[in-house]
Amino acid sequence: MKKLFSFLLILALLLSASSFAFADDIEAPGSGPADRSAIVSVEGVPLIPLNNGVAVPQLGLGTQIQSLERDASETGRALLNSTSHDAVVAALQAGYRHLDTAHGYFNETGVGQGIIDSGIPREEIWVTSKLWPSEYGEGVTMEAIDAMLDRLQLDYLDCIYLHHPAGDYVGAWKDLEKAYRQGKVRALGISNFDNWPEAFSAIVDGMEIKPQILQIEGHPFAQRHETRDLAARYDIQVECWYPLGHADDRLLNNEVLSAIAEAHDKSVVQIILRWHMQEGLCAVPGSTNPDHIAENISIFDFELSDAEMEQIRALDGGEAGRYFNINYEQMGGFFTTLNE
Ligand SMILES: NC(=O)c1ccc[n+]([C@@H]2O[C@H](COP(=O)([O-])OP(=O)(O)OC[C@H]3O[C@@H](n4cnc5c(N)ncnc54)[C@H](OP(=O)(O)O)[C@@H]3O)[C@@H](O)[C@H]2O)c1
C-alpha cells in the first residue's frame, strides 16, 4: 500500500512538472505582478500549454463590437464600453476564463471594469490585449503598455499582441521583451503576421524572445493549414479570430454542419467551436448575447467523431474562404493612426 502511494505521488509530481516544462530556447516570463496568476480549468475548458510553460484556456470571449466602433462620440464610446462590460460579466459568470480585447476596439475600460464587477478574481483569468501600430517603437511601446494596463485597471496582462504587422514592429517587440522580463506580461503574441512573411520572420527568427501565440482568421471555410503548419514548426499556438465566420449565414446554415448539429442535438455554432477545440486551436468567439455566451461554452459534453471531423475539414476553402482579405502593401498607412 505504502509502495503504491509512493508510486502515485511520484507519478503526480512528474505529471505536474511536465505541464510546466518549456522549450529550452524559450525564456520563461520574468518575476513580477504576473507571478500571481492562478488559472484553472472551468466548465471543462482545456488549458493549452504554451512554448514558455504557461497555459491558456483554449476557449475565450472575443470582445470586439465592430458595429459600435464606428460612433467615436463620447456617448458612442460609452455604449461600446458598457456593452463590452456586460458581455464580460456574463462570460466570466458562465465560466469563461479568457478574454480577448485590443486598444483598437476602444473598449478596454469596459472590459477591465467587467472583470472587477464579475467577482471572479483577476488572477484566475487570461486577459489579452493588442497594441496598435501607432504605438510601436522602442520606448513608445513601453508607455503604451503602461497606458493599456491603466485602462484595464490591471497590473499585468496574460498576453499582449502586436495587432498588425505594420510600422516599427521590431522596436515594439524589444519593449514587449522588456515588459515580459519585468513580469508585466506572461506571453507575447503576433496577430495577423501571417499576412506579411517578412514581419513574421523578423519577429520569429530575429528576436530574443519568440512569440507564444499567433492570432489569425480561422473557421471551417478557411482552415489555414499552411499557416498552422508554419506556426507548429516554431511551436507557436494558433488562436482563431472570426471563429464563427463573423456569423456569416452561409457558414451558420451550412448543410453538413447542420446535419452534424442535429445528430448531436447541438447548434451549428457549438459544432464549429467543438471542431476548433478538437483541432487544437484556441478560439475567441464574440458575442454580446448572454444566451449565446452560455451556449458557446457548452461544448465539452460531447465529441465529434473522426468521420465528422473529416466532413468539416472538407469544407475548407483555403485562402479564398477568408472573409477578411487585406493587402498590407496598400493598407500599411491605415494602421499607423488610431481614431481615438
Ligand atoms: N486580431 C484581429 O485582427 C482580430 C480581427 C477580428 C476579430 N478579432 C477577435 O476575434 C473575436 C471574434 O470575432 P468576431 O466577434 O468578429 O466574429 P465571430 O466570433 O466569428 O462571430 C461573432 C458573431 O457571431 C454571433 N454569435 C455568437 N455566438 C452565437 C450563437 N451561439 N448563435 C448565433 N450567433 C452567435 C455574434 O452575435 P451575438 O452578439 O448576437 O451573439 C456575432 O455577430 C473578436 O471579438 C475579437 O476579439 C481579432
Would the CB of 165 count as within 6 Å of ligand 1?
no
Q: In whole angstroms, what is the distance from residue 281 CA to residue 187 CA? A: 17
- The model's pLDDT over 288-300, given as tens digits with 9 standing for 90+, comes to 999 999 999 999 9
Per-residue pLDDT, averaged over 6-30, amounts to: 53
Angle at 32 between CA 88 and CA 140, to 5 degrees: 75
- Which residue ranges make up each domain of the chain? 43-319
Question: What spacing in Å lies between the alpha carbon of 183 and ligand 1's midpoint?
Answer: 30
* Overall pTM surpassing 0.85 (yes/no): yes
Instruction: Tell which one of 100, 241, 253 to mutate to probe ligand 1, the residue whose CB is within 8 A of the most ligand atoms.
Output: 241
Please determine, for residue 20, whether its predicted confidence score (pLDDT) is greater than 80.
Answer: no
Question: What spacing in Å lies between the alpha carbon of 81 and ligand 1's midpoint?
Answer: 16
Q: What pLDDT was estimated at residue 112?
A: 98
Three cell numbers, residue 60:
475565450
Mean pLDDT computed over every residue of the chain = 92
Question: What spacing in Å lies between the alpha carbon of 295 and ligand 1's midpoint?
Answer: 14
Please determine, for residue 336, whether its predicted confidence score (pLDDT) is greater than 90.
Answer: no
Please determine, for residue 3, whether its predicted confidence score (pLDDT) is greater than 90.
Answer: no
Query: 43-319: which CATH architecture?
Result: Alpha-Beta Barrel (3.20)
- The model's pLDDT over 188-209, given as tens digits with 9 standing for 90+, comes to 999 999 988 999 999 999 999 9
Q: What pLDDT was estimated at residue 18?
A: 35
Would the CB of 247 count as within 6 Å of ligand 1?
yes
Q: What pLDDT was estimated at residue 130?
A: 98
Q: What pLDDT was estimated at residue 14?
A: 38
Nearest to 206, CA basis, from 177, 185, 249, 178: 177
Per-residue pLDDT, averaged over 215-227, amounts to: 98
Would the CB of 220 count as within 6 Å of ligand 1?
no
Q: What pLDDT was estimated at residue 195?
A: 85
- From the list 96, 105, 136, 169, the catalytic residue is 105
Q: What pLDDT was estimated at residue 43?
A: 98
Active site residue 105: yes
Ligand 1 atom nearest to CA at 216: 1
